[in-house]
Amino acid sequence: MLPLFIIFAATAIVAALGVVVSRKPIYSALFLLVNFGTLAALYIMLQAQFLAMVQVITYAGAIVVLFLFVTMLIGGGELGDLRPRGSSLASRLTWPRVAALALALLLLAGLGYGIVTRTIEQCPRHPHSI
């Protein structure tokens, strides 16, 4: 069961990165669809079948299709940078990018601390669960 969880979790992370990094909105919406599908698989592994079906029907079946429809309606061309490629690194580092980088490093530091000090442990099973 653990190898299957690792495969689905890694696929979800890669798909989420694909949503953010993709230069074309169509590819980004398709990565979002893959992400919702893997999250539904993770819900099934947690014995939450109803939540998995709601995830598939509501998000993958309606929201992503709406995103794709609107993107195709307005023309889903490739997104370009606001600044030219030859600009310096200092001009490309705006405050939202610096804030996002700082928060990402803070999150990774907190997760690393929790793993090293073993404060993040597996939750005990409920006595009435199957």
Specify whether the CB–CB gap between 40 and 27 falls below 8 A: no
Q: At 55, which amino acid appears?
A: Q
| Residue for token pair 């074309």 | 24
Asked if the model's pLDDT at residue 42 lies above 90, the reply is yes
Q: Domain ranges for the chain, please list them.
A: 1-76, 89-120
**3-class secondary structure for 54-91?**
HHHHHHHHHHHHHHHHHHHHHCCCCCCCCCCCCCCHHH
pLDDT in tens, 86-100: 666 667 678 888 888
Q: Does 117 or 103 have the greater pLDDT score?
A: 103
Strand, coil or helix: 130: coil
Residue 66: what pLDDT? 87
User: What are the tokens at 10?
Assistant: 């890694």
Q: Please provide the CATH number assigned to the domain covering 1-76.
A: 1.20.120.1200
Q: Over pLDDT 90: what percentage of the chain?
A: 37
The pLDDT-based confidence of 118 (bands split at 50, 70, 90) is confident
pTM across the whole model = 0.63
Alpha carbons 8 and 44: distance in angstroms, whole number: 11
pLDDT in tens, 54-85: 989 998 888 888 888 888 888 766 656 555 66
User: Cα angle vertex 77, ends 72, 81, to 5°?
Assistant: 140
